[in-house]
């Protein structure tokens, strides 16, 4: 094609718009002629309504400017937002009826007080939850994203049931308000964490803006369908509950598929544990898609020894002798110990990201060893396990780290839950 075109004039320049369009400029009769690669039919399709839709609702430079999992996640996220919008309509109608809308005996003051109490308790819940679990919302974005939507469905279910329990209406509505406040914090924070993952050109604002446009479009569609649903469900509790459960199932399934489709290239505790266990067992480092596929998206309640990263020195050692044990035969910028049923890591001020990954690997290995202990089996002291973890990492970590890089993991940063304590210690105790 290029040789045929060159018969009309020489090629002067080429240009492209991401991976969506490619153009060539040829000299022609003293001027320039611009031709699109792929022919006129492709150009017409590019100027179609689909092209305009993409321009309005997808980030600039899509798909090159976002992560590979962007479209899959957004499609399922759109489905969950649509079903949530319909469930919200049913819950709002029930709340208004419970507050006295349509009841001649109800007073404006009573309804206002109920709404103020609901909003007030929700504000307090938002502050407490952000303080309590704020750091976890980055490292466990998938789990908290799904948790937020489950909690949102619970809150709406409570709002639907509240009118049928008049003596407890205010208590139920206030509890639902607290749940929705937690949803607002967890949902907003995890959405921000996922946006950081999706943004491949530092285009967080564009992705957030387009996500808002997508959500607005979905809510508009939900609003139109809600106008048809309201006359049907009014004064019809069985139909209201039936539709709510239908939308809830769709909502939760869509959310599960959405968070399961996310492929994070940064290591958190769960993904690092999965990759490390597989490497120590089979000698191969899992790629990000493989590890993310195995990462649980629901909170697990199985019994395991907890890991605490970045703790104070006194949470690792409480005497000069223990400090000597912690420092014995190793010179890493971190200390490990087991206190009060937890594996604790004290981080030095000079520790790098690679040091953080190694410390977390050792802590996870110790946690796994303690969890798998059998009551009647041989028991090793905690310090023996610490020294065994150092020996294991001395022989395997360099190769493991190279394997992580080769597999495509981003080692410039991590999503491990490090607290802010940093300690400098004297090494002559060993």
In a domain, 127, yes or no: yes
Q: Return the closest-CA partner of residue 427 out of 344, 330, 351.
A: 330
Q: Check residue 380 and give its pLDDT.
A: 62
Predicted confidence band of residue 41 (pLDDT cuts 50, 70, 90): very low
DSSP, res 348:
B
Q: Identify the helix (H) or strand (E) that includes residue 307.
A: strand 306-309
Predicted confidence band of residue 374 (pLDDT cuts 50, 70, 90): low
What are the start-end ranges of the H helices in 262-319?
269-282, 288-294
In a domain, 57, yes or no: no
Q: Identify the helix (H) or strand (E) that includes residue 354.
A: helix 353-371
Residues 233, 192 share a domain: yes
Decide: pTM greater than 0.75: yes
DSSP string, 142-159: HHHHHHHHHHHHHHHHHH
In a domain, 402, yes or no: yes
* Tens of pLDDT, residues 397-416: 999 999 999 999 999 999 99
In a domain, 65, yes or no: no
As given in the structure block, the two tokens for residue 426 are: 């004297």
In a domain, 348, yes or no: yes
Dist CA 192 CA 266 (whole Å): 15
DSSP, res 427:
G
Q: Check residue 43 and give its pLDDT.
A: 47
In a domain, 8, yes or no: yes
CATH of the domain at 253: 1.20.1250.20
In the chain, what percentage of residues exceed pLDDT 70? 90
Dist CA 176 CA 288 (whole Å): 37
Residues 138, 279 share a domain: no
Domain range for 196 is 70-260
Per-residue pLDDT for 103 more than 70? no
- Once rounded to an integer, what is the mean pLDDT over residues 79-96? 88
Predicted confidence band of residue 297 (pLDDT cuts 50, 70, 90): very high
Residues 248, 205 share a domain: yes
The mean pLDDT of the chain is: 87
Residues 209, 107 share a domain: yes
Domain endpoint, select from 260, 291, 326: 260
- Once rounded to an integer, what is the mean pLDDT over residues 44-54? 69
Dist CA 396 CA 398 (whole Å): 6
SS3 265: coil
Residue 404, number of CB atoms within 10 A of its CB:
23
Q: What angle do CA 279, 281, 286 make, to 5 degrees?
A: 30
Residue 336, number of CB atoms within 10 A of its CB:
25
Which residues does 202 contact at the CB level (< 8 Å), separation at least 6?
Answer: none
Is residue 152 within 8 A of residue 183, CB to CB? The reply is yes
In a domain, 226, yes or no: yes
Q: Check residue 4 and give its pLDDT.
A: 43
Dist CA 186 CA 137 (whole Å): 7
What are the start-end ranges of the H helices in 101-140?
108-133, 136-139
Q: Check residue 373 and give its pLDDT.
A: 75
Residue 80 phi, psi dihedral angles, 5° rounding: -70, -35
- Once rounded to an integer, what is the mean pLDDT over residues 381-391? 91
Q: Return the closest-CA partner of residue 93 out of 220, 237, 248, 221.
A: 237
C-alpha neighbours within 13 Å on the C-beta side of residue 120: 8
Residues 193, 326 share a domain: no
Q: Specify which residues 334 forms β-bridges with.
A: 347
- Total domains in the chain come to 3
Dist CA 140 CA 374 (whole Å): 30
Q: Return the closest-CA partner of residue 269 out of 88, 98, 418, 96.
A: 418
Residues 282, 246 share a domain: no
As given in the structure block, the two tokens for residue 63 are: 């798909």
In a domain, 347, yes or no: yes
Q: What angle do CA 269, 398, 278 make, to 5 degrees?
A: 45
Q: Specify which residues 14 forms β-bridges with.
A: 24
Q: Check residue 5 and give its pLDDT.
A: 43
């Amino acid at each position: 094609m290029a040789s045929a075109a060159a018969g009309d004039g020489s090629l002067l320049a080429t240009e492209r718009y991401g991976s969506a369009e490619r153009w060539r400029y040829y000299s022609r009769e003293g001027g320039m002629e611009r031709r699109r690669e792929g022919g006129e039919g492709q150009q017409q399709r590019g100027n179609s309504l689909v092209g305009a839709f993409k321009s309005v609702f997808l980030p600039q430079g899509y798909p090159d400017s976002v992560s590979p999992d962007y479209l899959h996640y957004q499609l399922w996220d759109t489905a969950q937002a649509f079903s949530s919008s319909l469930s919200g309509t049913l819950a709002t109608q029930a709340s208004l009826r419970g507050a006295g809308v349509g009841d001649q005996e109800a007073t404006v003051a009573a309804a206002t007080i109920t709404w103020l109490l609901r909003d007030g308790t929700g504000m307090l819940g938002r502050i407490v939850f952000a303080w309590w679990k704020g750091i976890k919302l980055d490292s466990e974005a998938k789990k908290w994203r799904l948790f937020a939507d489950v909690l949102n469905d619970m809150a709406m279910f409570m709002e639907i049931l509240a009118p049928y329990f008049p003596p407890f209406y205010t208590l139920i509505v206030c509890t639902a308000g607290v749940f929705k406040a937690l949803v607002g914090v967890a949902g907003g924070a995890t959405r921000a964490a996922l946006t950081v993952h999706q943004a491949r050109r530092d285009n967080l604002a564009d992705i957030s803006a387009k996500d808002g446009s997508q959500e607005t479009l979905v809510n508009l569609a939900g609003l139109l369908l809600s106008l048809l649903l309201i006359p049907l469900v009014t004064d019809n509790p069985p139909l209201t509950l039936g539709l709510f459960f239908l939308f809830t199932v769709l909502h939760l399934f869509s959310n599960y598929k959405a968070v399961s489709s996310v492929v994070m290239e940064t290591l958190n505790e769960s993904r690092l544990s999965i990759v490390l266990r597989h490497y120590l067992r089979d000698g191969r480092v899992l790629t990000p898609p493989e590890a993310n596929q195995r990462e649980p998206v629901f909170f697990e309640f199985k019994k395991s020894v907890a890991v605490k990263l970045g703790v104070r020195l006194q949470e690792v050692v409480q005497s000069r002798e223990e400090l000597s044990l912690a420092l014995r035969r190793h010179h890493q910028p971190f200390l490990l110990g087991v206190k009060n049923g937890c594996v604790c890591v004290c981080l030095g001020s000079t520790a790098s990201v690679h040091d953080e990954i190694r410390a977390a690997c050792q802590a996870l290995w110790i946690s796994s060893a303690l969890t798998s202990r059998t009551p009647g089996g041989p028991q090793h002291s905690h310090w023996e396990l610490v020294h065994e973890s150092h020996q294991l990492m001395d022989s395997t970590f360099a190769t493991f780290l190279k394997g992580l890089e080769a597999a495509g993991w981003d080692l410039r940063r991590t999503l491990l839950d490090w607290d802010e304590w940093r300690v400098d210690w004297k090494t002559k105790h060993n």
